[in-house]
Structure 1
Amino acid sequence: MNEPAPGPGWILLRGLVREARHWEGFPERLAQVLQQPARAVDLPGNGVLWREASPTHIDGMVDALRRELNAAGSRGPHRVLAISLGGMVALRWAQRFPDEVECLVLINSSLRGTAPFYQRLRPRQYPRLLMALLLPLSHERRELAILRMTTRLQSDLHGVAKRYARWQREAPVGKANLVRQLLGAARGFPVPQELPGLPALVLTSKADRMVSWHCSRRIAERWGWPLQCHPNGGHDLPIDDPEWVVEAIRQWLSESGLTGRTQQPGGKRHQGEADERSGESTQAKADTQPKQ
């Protein structure tokens, strides 16, 4: 189910060539713990929208997402949880349309202009990523190669790869859309100096093989957002340790006074057009260990 429910709730955004089903049971678990609606939404070129052309700019992805939500009658303001490329889309959405985003949770994301390219995608993964995504491999071999880059705590990689391969056959992400999504991520967007009044939590993993955790640290420091680090999870933290992610969000909402709070549409909380403003916050919380 990809259609978001009308009214405020959590919108979940995936990363490069991933779709809503790759959250597995995470949205249901998040909704259960927080007692708030949580729905995963696909970006063009992925999942139920696999026939559409992926935008080559982050702004185009934001515009497509807003059209999809508006068509479903979901006006917001939304709480947004996003990973990797989805985090770029979420942050740009909050920047451009502050009335529509109540708060953010960013997982293992990165931004052009805040971290060097070799941290945004680790160089040792360049050949592996190109081989996995561009060579004529079977769906299962390709998904297995991707999982070996993005996960660390999976006990049944072959079983997961088989399931993901079936999804890829059902909703194939074409090479043209892969290139378009990569181009959009590489281009990025004008990063604001300030996002006053926007509550956000940054989650990362120090063992991420794809993206250096320092990218998340720099995001947290730039806007004074709390940072929590998982010591041994992979890039896809919601799959590697979903309970840790859910508990981190629950604690943050409680400590921030956001639990049960509903932002009314139209109520301004932060400035969306902050590209040319100056100033930088630099305090992030200490690492948090996962539950045993």
Structure 2
Amino acid sequence: MSKWVFLRGLMRETRHWGEFPDLFRSMVPEADITLLDLPGNGSLHTLRSPMRVEEMTDSCRRQLLSRNIAPPHNLFALSLGGMVATDWAMRYPDEIAGCVLLNTSLRPLNPFYRRLRPRNYPALLALGLSSLVNRNVERQESLLLRLTSNQHAQQADVLADWISYQHGHPVTYQNALRQLCAAIRYRAPAQAPKPPLLILAGGADRLIDPRCSQQLAHQWQASLATNATAGHDLTLDAGHWVAEQVRDWLVSPANAYGSQEEYYFPRGLEKVD
């Protein structure tokens, strides 16, 4: 049995994983999954979000301790969650068996205009301003789904779920800003974390440029795989593919021996320069 900790991103909570944890268990049968919320989101929505990624990491470690879940853990993390996973693996490498980072970006390895595509600035600014005046959860979640999923037109049920999550466990505008500030401020190390790494990217991510993941893999000589058609919410757009990549990576020599001599590319994928 291998322990996995799943971490979501900005303004998202554990329920946003949808059916993916069950799919992951079917592909990685030995996986024992724990879903954690970052402060200010989901079950912790009444807390004030930290403005430092390091404090988010410490919160996750305390949550596991309170549940008597001991390390080592495998971290499976999307976007802002990937920053938490990176910090965790850097500061407490003995607690981490491996990291899977999905569509994450890190300063200073990635420039700001790739960490958040400029074409999204007007829509996000308008959403922020409207939230200050009159919070419209339906409009907010519809925009976020369009930005993060390339299958949003077929995701009416998902949108309804996301709206219900925000009504039940609302993320305040102030907490959203604090999480964004934490993401902007976090500075990643030039050297790779010690635990084995798998980096997964959506090649059609409209929120974060997929070259961010490519640059991380190049800088850290980490395993990399890209799905050409998936968007930012990689497990929503290509959940089966994601689970396959993790399954194959777990049995690859690069992961088994912690080697960083060369990239590992699952079947049907080409090396990115």
- The answer to whether TM tops 0.5 is yes
- Distance (Å, rounded) in 2 between the aligned partners of 1:112 and 1:283: 24
Partner of 2:88: 93
- 1:167-206 to structure 2, matched below 5 A, reads 167-196=165-194, 198-206=195-203
Q: Does 1:240 align with 2:237?
A: yes
- Distance (Å, rounded) in 2 between the aligned partners of 1:104 and 1:127: 33
- 1:203-214 to structure 2, matched below 5 A, reads 203-214=200-211
TM normalised by structure 2 equals 0.90
After superposition, the Cα gap between the structure-2 partners of 1:8 and 1:53, relative to the gap in structure 1 and judged at 3 Å, is farther
Q: Does 1:16 align with 2:14?
A: no
The Cα shift of 1:227 comes to 0.8
1:139 paired residue among 121, 134, 137: 137
After superposition, the Cα gap between the structure-2 partners of 1:168 and 1:214, relative to the gap in structure 1 and judged at 3 Å, is same
- Distance (Å, rounded) in 2 between the aligned partners of 1:155 and 1:149: 12
CA-to-partner distance for each residue in 1:150-177, whole Å, 9 max, x for gaps? 0002443333222111110000000110
The Cα shift of 1:83 comes to 0.5
| Alpha carbons 2:72, 2:96 under 8 Å: kept | yes
- Distance (Å, rounded) in 1 between the aligned partners of 2:63 and 2:48: 14
CA-to-partner distance for each residue in 1:3-43, whole Å, 9 max, x for gaps? xxxx9511000000000000001112212221111122101
The Cα shift of 1:258 comes to 5.8
| Alpha carbons 1:94, 1:100 under 8 Å: kept | yes
| Alpha carbons 1:10, 1:38 under 8 Å: kept | yes
- Looking at secondary structure, tell me which structure has more helix per residue: 2
- Distance (Å, rounded) in 1 between the aligned partners of 2:119 and 2:197: 31
CA-to-partner distance for each residue in 1:229-281, whole Å, 9 max, x for gaps? 1001100010011000000110111113768x9xxxxxxx9xxxxxxxxxxx7
Give ranges in structure 2 of 5+ residues lacking alignment. none
Percent identity between matched residues is: 38
SS in structure 1 of the partner of residue 252 of structure 2: helix
CA-to-partner distance for each residue in 1:117-169, whole Å, 9 max, x for gaps? 00000001112122334413521221111111000024433332221111100
Q: Which amino acid aligns with 2:19?
A: G
Corresponding residue pairs, total: 265
| Alpha carbons 2:86, 2:193 under 8 Å: kept | no
- Distance (Å, rounded) in 1 between the aligned partners of 2:197 and 2:237: 22
Q: Which amino acid aligns with 1:169?
A: H
| Alpha carbons 1:57, 1:184 under 8 Å: kept | yes
SS in structure 1 of the partner of residue 121 of structure 2: helix
- Distance (Å, rounded) in 2 between the aligned partners of 1:213 and 1:257: 22
- Distance (Å, rounded) in 2 between the aligned partners of 1:244 and 1:84: 18
After superposition, the Cα gap between the structure-2 partners of 1:194 and 1:207, relative to the gap in structure 1 and judged at 3 Å, is closer
Q: Does 1:230 align with 2:224?
A: no
The Cα shift of 1:289 comes to 4.9
CA-to-partner distance for each residue in 1:51-70, whole Å, 9 max, x for gaps? 00111001111111111111
Q: Does 1:25 align with 2:19?
A: yes
The Cα shift of 1:288 comes to 5.8
After superposition, the Cα gap between the structure-2 partners of 1:133 and 1:241, relative to the gap in structure 1 and judged at 3 Å, is farther
Q: Which amino acid aligns with 1:96?
A: R
SS in structure 1 of the partner of residue 231 of structure 2: coil
| Alpha carbons 2:41, 2:171 under 8 Å: kept | yes
1:45 paired residue among 36, 40, 49: 40
TM normalised by structure 1 equals 0.85
SS in structure 2 of the partner of residue 229 of structure 1: strand
Q: Does 1:66 align with 2:28?
A: no
Q: Which amino acid aligns with 1:168?
A: Q
The Cα shift of 1:110 comes to 0.4
Q: Which amino acid aligns with 1:124?
A: R
| Alpha carbons 2:106, 2:188 under 8 Å: kept | no
Give ranges in structure 1 of 5+ residues lacking alignment. 1-6, 262-268, 270-280
Partner of 1:34: 28
Q: Which amino acid aligns with 1:207?
A: A
| Alpha carbons 2:148, 2:207 under 8 Å: kept | yes
- 1:82-121 to structure 2, matched below 5 A, reads 82-121=77-116
| Alpha carbons 1:95, 1:195 under 8 Å: kept | yes
